[in-house]
Amino acid sequence: MKDQWQVIINRNAARRGESTTYTLDIRIDGAAAGSGQDFADGLSGGPDYWEVTGVSGSLNIRAAPSTSAAVRMGLLRGTVVRNLGCRMNEGRRWCEVAQVGGGVTGWAAGEYLREAAAPSQPTVPSAGSGSAAASNELLDAAHEACLRDVRQVTNNPTAFVLRSMFSEAGTEVIVGVGDQSAPWRCIAYRDGTTAGIMSITDEGSL
């Protein structure tokens, strides 16, 4: 009753034109202060940059917010990307991301992203160097061509794009092969052909 009595007295004081000063303290029980795990748990706003986390191999970046959408590339743990916004689909939070400095955009599962600071340097060349000027359509075609031919050369169906670099001469695509994501290099051309497929691991094998 004490709190109720105080409210009544203050309301009557307000009618007389009097004023008073309040201090309100709010505490949420069970909240872990300073946990530092700021994941993509919101659908609006959010940080400017995400960092890939919680994956043992690479995080799929897809053409649409769905596990059935085509994979445009894979990002290794620790990679920093720009945040373009998040949305819910298929019961999962998806965030649209872009390579820093330009290049590929796509959708990543939000549970594998956490807030990050801006990188000191772009992870791909800026506009004017070729990579940022490449359209997603051209990159998708280059990725598909290299994935097709690397799978054939290695006789391993498990292959995904780790990173790529566009140029007018041809797009260099680094493909991860097998459960260990062994890197292979491939050059894709506009006509759908590829060349220079080779392992770039120290051992030279999968």
pLDDT at 61: 87
Alpha carbon distance 2, 83 (integer Å): 50
Alpha carbon distance 82, 132 (integer Å): 14
**What pLDDT, in 10s, does the model give residues 101-158?**
766 789 999 999 999 988 765 444 333 334 444 456 777 888 899 999 999 999 999 9
**What pLDDT, in 10s, does the model give residues 146-190?**
999 999 999 999 988 887 777 667 888 889 898 888 889 899 988
**What pLDDT, in 10s, does the model give residues 41-94?**
555 567 899 999 988 777 888 889 998 888 787 787 888 899 999 999 999 999
Distances (CA, A) of 193 to 153, 187, 190, 201: 14, 9, 7, 23
E strands, the chain, where?
49-52, 58-62, 71-76, 80-89, 92-99, 105-109, 113-116, 159-165, 171-177, 182-188, 194-199
Alpha carbon distance 168, 41 (integer Å): 39
Q: Which residues of 159-168 are buried (b: 16+ CB within 10 A; e: fewer)?
A: bbbbbbbbee
Please state whether the predicted TM-score (pTM) of the whole model is above 0.75.
no
Q: Which residue has the higher pLDDT, 56 or 26?
A: 56
pLDDT at 2: 46
